[in-house]
Structure 1
Amino acid sequence: MNQKRLLKIALGQFASVHGDTKSNLSKMLEMIGEASNAGADLIVFPELAYSGYRNPSLVMQRLSETQEGPFVQAMCEAAKEKRIHIVAGYPEAGEVPGRIYNSAIFVNDAGEVIENMRKVYAWGKEKLTFAEGKRFPVVKTRFGKVGMLICYDAEYPEPARIEALKGAELIVNCSVWSIDPAEHRWHVDLQANALFNLLFIAGCNTIGENICGSSMIVGPDGKERMVASRTEEELLIHEIDLNEILEIRSRIPYFKDFKEDTFSIDALKKY
């Protein structure tokens, strides 16, 4: 318990240029370099950082790439060169032509793809463009177990709880979160998910065009540890100690008292 498990997290908050993957990739590579120079172990980028969020469906189709495409390969090369883990959003071309996903790639510091999450809960008109994923993954890394969510996934309590029960110590959330009417929910949802599950959450948002910025790190006590600007591009860097989870869970008995069997499908049918 005395030995710390330190993890330095970087959040690359920037405004993606809609449809300009070259410009967005350049900005991401620049931030990856800065984060690496600052000693960060992990950098997280916003939802659809590579393509921009507000593209017509046909444009998003054209911008979508497979995991073997140039975007993922660029992330792998940068991760290996800079010795840093990367989580970044992009439009993923699925196995069926015309079926694309709002996805986030997770690359380790050896340049290997260790997870690819497809957003499970598409928000509003996103359903007209994207198919939805089916998994809430937790990834084992050299510094601990990391869960992944994408934006609207954090508005439901179950995804974060599922990942916590899979052993997640940190959940990363790639987002494009609006000011009106949802800005207050950005803070409340991330704080609540962190507190209810007694783990760290790192939420990376974008800025501009009715987006609330405020990328943040939240501790397992539900308190915001560091928050970025609401309106400005920013590389937020903050160091956490994952062993703080054990200390807080020793004081707050949520997981000792939680009755998993009452939330099974069979149990719910009884009510």
Structure 2
Amino acid sequence: MAGSGFESLERCLEKHLPLAELQEVKRVLYGKETRKLDLPSAALEAASRGDFELQGYAFEAAAEQQRKPQTVRVGLVQNRTPLPADTPVVKQVTTLHRRMEAIVEVAATCGVNIICFQEAWTMPFAFCTREKLPWTEFAESAEDGPTTKFCQELARKHGVVVVSPILERDSAHGDVLWNTAVVISSSGAVLGKTRKNHIPRVGDFNESTYYMEGNLGHPVFQTRFGRIAVNICYGRHHPLNWLMYSLNGAEIVFNPSATIGALSESLWPIEARNAAIANHCFTCAINRVGQEHFPNEFTSGDGKKAHRDFGYFYGSSYVAAPDGSRTPGLSRTRDGILVAELDLNLCRQVNDIWGFKRPGLRPAFRPRSWPAAAL
């Protein structure tokens, strides 16, 4: 359990480093400093009452002569499952709905335009167990299930786009299960869905016993606040996954996840940030917090003793920009919402400067009439 009580890297640095050294360390770790947002006092008070963290930062882009700033605020939500895993399914889902209702209320007060919840947010991450009941009972229709209807109400009430990752039951196609994110417009319409493209078979992550790789490709959704995509959890380990969302036009790629300290924490600060740099887009990495204990022991096929949990989820949600800068992370131990103000003009500006995608894609985009020497 080493590290499960460690609040955050940022708090540790702030506690032990003098201000001048702290600023230099943050410059090296995080790139250009992000401006701290002046969030409403009512939102901060509500977050305190609700016992969740609230942070806000802004990324700047250069002023342009022919385009106005394209400013959008995103909200990243991380949370623990508030009830024991053996609580009745409907009670667990309802409790999480109420929790998100309070958090989205605060996000709306902060001017958030697009909000994204963590992977499989309505349930414990039970895919380690390989058991079917009761965990498959959390699965819902992406189009008209109770969670989608709940998120539609949130979207209409607050005028926000909602990204809702759920366990999907596709009743129209043989009751197949998928790990899915539903995208709901600010008017409450279901814009569509995307499915997890890569499924881990690593350690306790036995997810292929529930669902397989998605079959919807790399969809990008046009919202009134910009073009967004959802690269669910394990997809962040695959550079070409990020690239495909970028080539399809995404300006913001959300990465709702559920990942544990012993397995991936050293990778976490690198992958989404590197994807933002390589693909000239904003990336939003979201991870749940806490531990989840299951009624029955399970093994991992690695010779180790059977156990009822698979470690701690370390939170640390953050946003990275195409210029390599990033926000500090949320706590490793607390529920929270990170508000980030983005100027989408930065995507094109960095693309024009660095052009990382151009050399590799040039042969693919070469018109037949162009001679090779012209390239």
**Global fold match (TM > 0.5):** yes
Structure 1 residue 256: Cα displacement: 3.2
Matched position secondary structure for 1:73: helix
Which one has a bigger Cα radius of gyration?
2
Q: Which residue among 62, 70, 92 is the counterpart of 2:168?
A: 92
Please name the residue that 1:36 is paired with. 108
Please name the residue that 1:159 is paired with. 241
What stretches of structure 2 of length at least 5 have no aligned partner? Answer: 1-63, 292-311, 366-375
After TM superposition, the structure 1 stretch with the greater mean CA deviation from structure 2, 105-114 or 244-253, is 244-253
| 1:6 equivalent in alignment to 2:71 | yes
Matched position secondary structure for 2:167: strand
Matched position secondary structure for 2:111: coil
Matched position secondary structure for 2:347: helix
Please name the residue that 1:63 is paired with. 138
After TM superposition, the structure 1 stretch with the greater mean CA deviation from structure 2, 203-212 or 146-155, is 203-212
Please name the residue that 2:360 is paired with. 258
Aligned residue identity for 2:279: N
Please name the residue that 2:319 is paired with. 217
Q: Which residue among 175, 197, 201 is the counterpart of 2:279?
A: 197
Contact 2:218 2:248 (8 Å CA) reproduced:
no
Q: Whole-Å Cα distance in 1 between the matches of residues 80 and 363 of structure 2?
A: 44
Q: Whole-Å Cα distance in 2 between the matches of residues 59 and 89 of structure 1?
A: 19
Cα RMSD, aligned residues only:
1.7
Structure 1 residue 246: Cα displacement: 1.9
Matched position secondary structure for 1:180: helix
Please name the residue that 1:128 is paired with. 209
Aligned residue identity for 2:195: R
Aligned residue identity for 2:208: K
Contact 2:116 2:164 (8 Å CA) reproduced:
yes
Q: Whole-Å Cα distance in 1 between the matches of residues 174 and 151 of structure 2?
A: 24
Aligned residue identity for 1:13: Q
Contact 1:89 1:102 (8 Å CA) reproduced:
yes
Please name the residue that 1:266 is paired with. none
Q: Whole-Å Cα distance in 1 between the matches of residues 148 and 219 of structure 2?
A: 18
Aligned residue identity for 1:231: T
| Residue identity (%) | 24
Q: Whole-Å Cα distance in 1 between the matches of residues 212 and 358 of structure 2?
A: 37
Please name the residue that 1:238 is paired with. 340
Listed as ranges, the matches of 1:113-192 within 5 Å are: 113-124=190-201, 125-134=206-215, 135-192=217-274
Q: Which residue among 72, 82, 90 is the counterpart of 2:148?
A: 72
Aligned residue identity for 1:142: R
Q: Which residue among 180, 188, 191 is the counterpart of 1:111?
A: 188
Structure 1 residue 97: Cα displacement: 4.4
The one-character-per-residue Cα deviations of 1:153-189 (angstroms, maximum 9, x if unpaired) are 1110111101111111110111112111211111111
Structure 1 residue 121: Cα displacement: 1.0
Structure 1 residue 63: Cα displacement: 1.4
Aligned residue identity for 2:98: S
Contact 1:200 1:218 (8 Å CA) reproduced:
yes
Matched position secondary structure for 1:238: strand
Runs of 4+ in 1 over 3 A off after TM superposition: 260-263
Contact 1:146 1:170 (8 Å CA) reproduced:
yes
Matched position secondary structure for 1:34: helix
Structure 1 residue 98: Cα displacement: 4.4
Contact 1:194 1:200 (8 Å CA) reproduced:
yes
Contact 2:161 2:223 (8 Å CA) reproduced:
no
Please name the residue that 1:268 is paired with. none
After TM superposition, the structure 1 stretch with the greater mean CA deviation from structure 2, 75-84 or 59-68, is 59-68
Matched position secondary structure for 2:262: coil
Q: Whole-Å Cα distance in 2 between the matches of residues 104 and 24 of structure 1?
A: 17
Higher relative strand content: 1
Aligned residue identity for 1:127: S
After TM superposition, the structure 1 stretch with the greater mean CA deviation from structure 2, 3-12 or 59-68, is 59-68
Change (3 A) 1:249 1:122: same
Aligned residue identity for 1:74: F
